[in-house]
Structure 1
Amino acid sequence: MTRTDRVVLMEIVGPFFGSVMLFTSLFLAAGELQKLAEFSQKGVSPTYLAIMVLFTLPYVLAYTIPMAMLLATLMGFGRLSGDSEIVALFASGTSFPRIMAPVIVFALAVSLPIITVNQSLIPAANQKREQMAREIRQRGSTAAATTDAFTLVVKVSDEQQYVVHAAGGVRFGTGGTASLDRVGILIYDKGLPTAAVGARRADWKIGTRSWVLTEDKKGELWIADKSTLQVMTSDSVKLREVELGAPKDLESLEGRVTELSTALLAQRARLRHAEGDHAAAREAEIEAQGRVSFPLAALVFAMVGAPLGVQRTRSGKGLGFGLSVLVTFVYWTTVQIFQAIGKGGGLPALAACQIPNGVGIGLGIWLIWRVAQKGAVN
């Protein structure tokens, strides 16, 4: 590392960590303060609330770090330019792309760890936070949580299909066992519902794709038949086993996409495509690709923020900051637009998530070239 690299990084690192703290505090205050106040009124201890905040931090940091990178580069290069250090570096023969080198390395060093923790650590923290929130909301209530519920369409033949709903999701036991909690099966024949079967749970036949319906506490299964308009019990239930898939596959259908590891998102996408629910499959694919593309916003903002910081001094103090706000707005708007196109099937998930980064990097390269050209002239 050269002396130039150290000088540039010293101007970036301090404002970066300060900006991370600032933006994280603002996000927590805006998004969590009301929720924590609500929970506090329910008698939740401060320690429990503090743990919830800790589980929230990884998710919030994934958003605030790219924003902090933009502000840090804008401030750092604004000061370097204001003190004529950029001019001195140009005079010594150092090009602006060379000055940018440590900034790009720093941005990548920040982005890559976020990509890694985005795959499983942040989803696990999200899941734990939501679980704690559900437990608090259920205090004093007899209502059962349904956030683990999932629905799966099973094609039996060209004319018949089952819509299986597990209200309590997948439960794993000892010795590799698994069960579905509170199972309802709606039977369709030629596109019309003909019967519904209910069971307290369904137990997995280990090593197969089949699940066996288990009787309720009264020792009964039940069926509601369209033809008789009656609810009948065990002896009338012919459907006692249904092929759904392995427990790990079904686990991927539980919860929100933000609470699933990337591996489970891939399984959810595969299952949803297989049952024809392509919209849900694309949602999972967009979430998985976004976990790689989103942290790279730190690189985009570094490449854009640094040259804007230099131009801020040359073109007026307000112009550079205004342009950076505009770039941020355009970037996030572009991300939302392309993700919506991807979820609608207009683009593959990879393209929908990476095009905004490609546009941002292209803009950054143009801004860097523009500053380099001015430096060469001066």
Structure 2
Amino acid sequence: MKITDKYILSKFFYILAFSLLAFIIVVLIVDIIENIDKFIDNKAPVYLIAQYYILYLPFITVLVIPVAVLLATMFTIGGLSRYNELTIMKASGMSLYRLSVPLLTSGFIISLIIIIFSDFVMVPAEAKRDWIKKTQIEHRADTQGLLLTNVIKPGKDGWVIFARSYNEKTKTVEGALVQKIKSNRIEASIRANTMVWADSGWILTGAVKRIFDGDKEISFNKYDTLFASFLSQTPELMSHKAKKPRDTRFFELLELIQLKKIMGQDTARDRVELYLKFSFPFINFIIILLGIPLASNPKRAGGSVGLGLSVIISFLYFVILRAGQSFGYNKELSPLLSVWIGNIIFFAIGAIMFFKARK
């Protein structure tokens, strides 16, 4: 790594760290002001509030880091341009393209780190934060041990449990319908009065089992009791409350999509959230590509101008991103295109400006 690369990166990461910290503090202050009345009304202890906001930090970091990256790019390149360091570097034989390599590489690495960080840190932290908010701060009753109704739980090999009710305490299902669904066709159907968990599997009582070949029923059997070892749904899974797709880890969401496809359910919203887990982090790379040519112009190298452009560009990106998500949810765009369209637009604009910029 050349001395110029180290110099550029040191300035970039210093500004990035400062910007990220500043944005996080601003978001925290705004959120505390909005929720202070709730904390006081619920008599939430300070340590619990502190734990709540510590768990909030990963989400805030993922949300604001693109703005911080753009601001760091604008101030790094803008500073070099404003103090004629960029001109000196160019005079020594280094092009703007070469000077951009360490920043673009850093942007790509940051994008990969955010993908991993979001899945392994942010999602679990958000689940814990939500639990603290509902049960410890707002004192809502924990739903553990309640009677769940109209439960649908897909499992492995296409087996799906439909339950009129499920008692979490006794691990008992009333009014059970178990079906094996492949390629939107029912291959087997078992209707039972009750299902009870017995250590290693479900025992069905008063069961009627039917096997199908296409639209034709080829087998019909009745059982007083039937041990359903083929069901992968454990009591823990039966009690598991459905999470929002954005609050689900990547492979969990991928498995959910596959199970929904087997059941013939719509997966558009889930696929939008799945692809978003990759598309959003990569704006950290694209935003650097866009910021370099903007900041290399001496007229736009000023601090206030750089800050203003960063805010405007970030706002436009989030507007396009949310609009794309909405189109994806409503199937007006494919799920993949709906979450990448913002990146495509900004990448195209950034690439054109980058290659048109003065070398």
- TM-score relative to the length of structure 2: 0.74
Equivalent position of 2:262 in the other structure: 274
Which of the residues 328, 338, 350 maps onto 2:324?
A: 338
Query: 1:315/1:45 Cα in 2 relative to 1: closer, same or farther (>3 Å)?
Result: closer
Equivalent position of 1:356 in the other structure: 342
Counterpart CA distance in 2 for 1:349 and 1:211 is: 40
The alignment partner of 2:336 has SS state of: helix
1:261 maps to 2:227: no
Q: Structure 1: state its 5+ residue gaps.
A: 156-160, 172-178, 188-196, 214-237
Counterpart CA distance in 1 for 2:91 and 2:110 is: 31
Deviation at 1:239, TM superposition (A): 12
Query: 1:27/1:142 Cα in 2 relative to 1: closer, same or farther (>3 Å)?
Result: closer
Deviation at 1:17, TM superposition (A): 0.5
Deviation at 1:330, TM superposition (A): 2.2
Equivalent position of 1:289 in the other structure: 275
Q: Which amino acid aligns with 1:103?
A: L
Q: Considering only aligned residues, what root-mean-square deviation do their CA atoms show, in Å?
A: 3.8
Deviates more, 1:326-335 or 1:242-251: 242-251
- TM-score relative to the length of structure 1: 0.71
Equivalent position of 2:19 in the other structure: 19
User: How many pairs are equivalent?
Assistant: 319
Equivalent position of 2:80 in the other structure: 80
Contact 1:36-1:49 at 8 Å conserved across structures:
no
Counterpart CA distance in 1 for 2:322 and 2:268 is: 14
Counterpart CA distance in 1 for 2:123 and 2:270 is: 13
1:229-285 per-position Cα deviation (integer Å, ceiling 9, x unaligned): xxxxxxxxx99999975348767762222332212112222233334431xx32222
The alignment partner of 2:281 has SS state of: coil
Counterpart CA distance in 1 for 2:265 and 2:310 is: 40
1:308 maps to 2:294: yes
Counterpart CA distance in 1 for 2:28 and 2:13 is: 23
Percent of pairs with identical residues: 19
Counterpart CA distance in 2 for 1:151 and 1:332 is: 37
Deviation at 1:358, TM superposition (A): 2.5
Contact 2:114-2:281 at 8 Å conserved across structures:
yes
User: After the TM superposition, which residues 16-165 of structure 1 pair with which residues of structure 2 at under 5 Å, given as runs?
Assistant: 16-35=16-35, 37-137=37-137, 139=139, 144=143, 164=163
1:122-165 per-position Cα deviation (integer Å, ceiling 9, x unaligned): 211111111111112553x668479997965589xxxxx99646
Contact 2:153-2:233 at 8 Å conserved across structures:
no
Deviation at 1:364, TM superposition (A): 1.7
Deviation at 1:98, TM superposition (A): 0.6
Counterpart CA distance in 2 for 1:147 and 1:325 is: 47
Q: Which amino acid aligns with 1:117?
A: F
Deviates more, 1:6-15 or 1:58-67: 6-15
Deviation at 1:74, TM superposition (A): 0.9
Equivalent position of 1:366 in the other structure: 352
Query: 1:11/1:297 Cα in 2 relative to 1: closer, same or farther (>3 Å)?
Result: same
Q: Which amino acid aligns with 2:335?
A: A
Contact 1:55-1:125 at 8 Å conserved across structures:
yes
